[in-house]
Structure 1
Amino acid sequence: MRSIVRLMVLALPFAAIPCVALAEPMTFDAALERAAREAPSLAASTAGVDATRSAAIAAGRLPDPTIDLGVQGFPVSGPTAGSFTRNDFTMTTIGLSQQFPNPAKRRAQRERAQADIGVAEAGVAIEAQNVRLETALAWVDLYYAKRRLAQLQVLDQSLGDLQATVAARLASGSARPSAALEPDQLRAAVGDRRSELTADVAKAQARLVRYTGDPQADVFGDPPSLEVDRARLMAGIFALPRLKALDAGVSAAEADTELARADKRPDWRVSTSYGRRDPAFGDLVSVGVSIDLPLFAKRRQDPKIAARASEAEQARLMRSAGERELVAALDGDLADHMMHHQRLMNARNTLVPLAKRRAELDMASYAAGKLDLGSALLSTLALAEAEVDALAREADVARDAIRINFTYGPITDEGVRP
């Protein structure tokens, strides 16, 4: 009966987590591959690129021709008012005109369209990087949350054995009656901790479901072992999606500047028309050319050119600032990674062994009647917390390695390991 109860206690945390028991496990690589296929935000960004490419086809093309239909010279007063045939002025006309923007303007429009494509493609790369990073972090968080929760079950087992010892000592009269309550108090404290870890599991699983689209997403296998090499990361920092996006912004701003400069060059229009009159007077044909005259450039085109040039300079400065920001962020993340690694080594080499040794000594003192049960139980709880904390520190190190490599490293064909 006691074994059955213990199995039920061990199953409770996992029963509280939706779909954990039925979840489909995924390796780290499989989760990334599924997220790349299923993430709606990535598909939306890709559709945006397709739209931009389609719009670029029309950039720099000649405008559609214009057809003109009209009546000219129709009398509204005098002896021939209202007549189409009693005067030699009235005629019906049909004409065709075509506008020809200057070549510099059309070239700038094409360059602007290509810059828009670059901006859209950079947006897809940034979103792909974000999806990979968030999926990887969700997978690692779920992996370590489940490990921490499982580690807490060990304390439940030891509490069951301790409860039997307390009962025996109460029966023999060697323990005070209030000692029977202390295991239950500790079990309640462990229950609170278990609730926190159960929530961590549920939240990490929800994030993994969000990016993979699998409603029963779960982890399988071990997390990747990623090395952090600053020299390699710095060598490829110029190819990062964020800087590519800033480069595309510079290209767009420069294209806008050229488009503004092109306004100082005249556009022109060619038109022709055919006028039909009364047969007694004969028909007419007209041909003409009209040319824009940008005569007031100092008040019209030049201010716009100066504004676009300032925006281009702003884009270049933002690109430079973005590069510095990335380098500073990388060094900051590397410092955090080193700190977390040192904390992990301290936990593994010092804190956990000391907590384990103290728990063993306190339980031995309790068995010998030299220490009260409450103190011994606190040492046991401290050991469990130390082991759970060590797993949390290990998770921090793994998260740092993933964040650094997935944020500052290139995306390879394998999709995982830079």
Structure 2
Amino acid sequence: MRIIVLAPLLAVIPGAALAEPLTFDVALQRAAREAPSLQASATGVEATRSAAIAAGRLPDPTLDLGVQGFPVSGPNAGSFNRDDFTMTTVGLSQQFPNPAKRRAQRSRAQAEIGIAEAGVAVETQNVRLETALAWVDLFYARRRLAQLQLLDASLGDLQETVSARLASGSARPSAALEPDQLRAAVGDRRSELSAEVTKAQARLARFTGDLQADALGDPPVLEVDRAGLAAGLASLPRLQALDAETKAAEADTELARADKHPDWRVSTSYGRRDPAFGDLVSVGVSIDLPLFAKRRQDPKIAARASEAERARLMRTAGERELSAALDGDLADHDMHHQRLMNARNTLVPLAKRRAELDMASYAAGKLDLGSALLSTLALAEAEVDALARESDVMRDAIRINFTYGEMRP
């Protein structure tokens, strides 16, 4: 089933023009360049890639300097040249981790890069989503505010009508207060919407870096494809991040298994003695002996294997969670779409017709002004509520497409 979200034409909205109006697409592009969290994530990837260069390399060689057989007692104590056994040495040693360990280290480093890159993808998706929602919230908050401003402007004409009736004696004196009461009620609602505009603008500025950013143009026309969304879950950044963590856990398991293979070290040294006895050269090899694996290496291998299994189960749980979340978001989208159609086709037309009838009854002297004004206020509230429902539908479409669909980064 496909649901088409039709964005209405943008009405002319009064108000001061801000410094940097942004269309929907420009806001997303600006956020991709300016969001500090994205820059931080990208820097983390570079750091991980740089660290991976050293993974699996041989350790640095060791320079050994020493003195052997130096006498500290007896007739030759404290002398370098009177004792036959005194020798100064200089040597080098090089450790060689076993090949399995070095391969596992390289695999672990690549997994770290995958985790960092997946983190960038997840953060990019979050920034795009939050920027899009902030833009849409700002757009519809301004439209709802404009709707109330139109009602406020019409109260001026109504005030003139009431004044004329008071002058002719056809209206009671308290009727002069009723337009002001309605204007005060509209003012309260306008204050709420003004606060929503300010908050949405602040959220948009958080990602675009422009403190005076404003929504310009129309919202996007988005299509929600249920089958396509369900088929593409496996490639979502969040699941890619879990895949990367699984690979890292598997690399840790291989690294633990590599400890059962012996490492070895090669060393050589040159010893200088008294010229009467000649110099010496020494060469040696040392090999680790993992003889007690049941109490040393095997428990670590079991622990790492359990962590790898946990990572695989978390990947399965993450996919199921995303699938359930998609179904829930689609259900909300259907509900909000039905509510919007009900507002457009039933609630707003009925409120408009009632306001017209009540104003006609007031003009004919069959209804008091207060009741007529309440109907006018109810019409304004119905129109504002319809815009709020339209905003809900648009927010659902953005959230679904940017979270599960092809609009992901």
> Shorter-normalised TM-score: what interval?
over 0.9
Distance 2:320 2:44 in 1: 29
Deviation at 1:45, TM superposition (A): 0.2
Match runs of 1:291-310 below 5 Å:
291-310=287-306
Contact 1:355–1:383 (Cα < 8 Å) also in 2:
yes
Amino acid at match of 1:287: V
Deviation at 1:131, TM superposition (A): 0.7
Distance 1:336 1:328 in 2: 12
Q: Is residue 134 of structure 1 aligned with residue 109 of structure 2?
A: no
Contact 2:401–2:407 (Cα < 8 Å) also in 1:
no
Amino acid at match of 1:321: A
- Secondary structure of the 2:223 match is coil
Match runs of 1:244-255 below 5 Å:
244-255=240-251
Q: Is residue 25 of structure 1 aligned with residue 24 of structure 2?
A: no
Which of 276, 281, 284 aligns to 1:285? It is: 281
Deviation at 1:82, TM superposition (A): 1.1
Runs of 4 or more, structure 1, over 2 Å off, are 20-23
Which of 32, 36, 44 aligns to 1:40? It is: 36
Q: Is residue 103 of structure 1 aligned with residue 99 of structure 2?
A: yes
2:271 corresponds to: 275
Distance 2:290 2:201 in 1: 64
2:401 corresponds to: 405
Contact 1:67–1:94 (Cα < 8 Å) also in 2:
yes
1:319 corresponds to: 315
Distance 1:226 1:43 in 2: 28
2:10 corresponds to: none
Deviation at 1:312, TM superposition (A): 0.2
- Secondary structure of the 1:77 match is coil
- Secondary structure of the 1:228 match is strand
1:362 corresponds to: 358
Distance 1:357 1:411 in 2: 42
For structure 2, list consecutive stretches of 5 or more residues without a partner in the other structure.
1-12
Distance 1:132 1:36 in 2: 7
For structure 1, list consecutive stretches of 5 or more residues without a partner in the other structure.
1-9, 15-19
- Secondary structure of the 1:68 match is strand
Contact 2:18–2:213 (Cα < 8 Å) also in 1:
no
Distance 1:342 1:145 in 2: 21
Alignment CA distance shift 1:47-1:363 (3 Å): same
Which of 102, 107, 114 aligns to 2:110? It is: 114
1:350 corresponds to: 346
2:181 corresponds to: 185
Greater shift, 402-411 or 283-292, is seen at 402-411
Amino acid at match of 1:41: S
Match runs of 1:155-174 below 5 Å:
155-174=151-170
Deviation at 1:81, TM superposition (A): 1.1
Count how many residue pairs are aligned between Structure 1 and Structure 2.
Answer: 397
| Identity across the alignment (%) | 86
Contact 1:240–1:410 (Cα < 8 Å) also in 2:
no
Deviation at 1:83, TM superposition (A): 1.3
Deviation at 1:410, TM superposition (A): 2.7
2:147 corresponds to: 151
- Secondary structure of the 1:139 match is helix
Task: Show CA shifts across 1:131-160 (max 9, x none).
Answer: 110110011111100000001112112211
Q: Is residue 82 of structure 1 aligned with residue 68 of structure 2?
A: no
Deviation at 1:21, TM superposition (A): 2.8
Distance 1:273 1:254 in 2: 40
Contact 2:236–2:404 (Cα < 8 Å) also in 1:
yes
Distance 2:152 2:106 in 1: 70
- Secondary structure of the 1:345 match is helix
Distance 2:407 2:266 in 1: 53
Amino acid at match of 2:57: R
User: What is the TM-score normalised by the length of structure 2?
Assistant: 0.96
User: What is the TM-score normalised by the length of structure 1?
Assistant: 0.94
Which of 42, 64, 70 aligns to 1:68? It is: 64
- Secondary structure of the 2:366 match is coil
Q: Is residue 380 of structure 1 aligned with residue 371 of structure 2?
A: no
Which of 260, 267, 288 aligns to 1:264? It is: 260
Amino acid at match of 2:218: D
Contact 2:352–2:379 (Cα < 8 Å) also in 1:
yes
- Secondary structure of the 2:260 match is coil
Deviation at 1:87, TM superposition (A): 1.7
Task: Show CA shifts across 1:267-298 (max 9, x none).
Answer: 00000000000001111100000000111111
Deviation at 1:86, TM superposition (A): 1.5
What is the root-mean-square deviation of aligned Cα atoms in Å? 1.1
- Secondary structure of the 2:214 match is strand
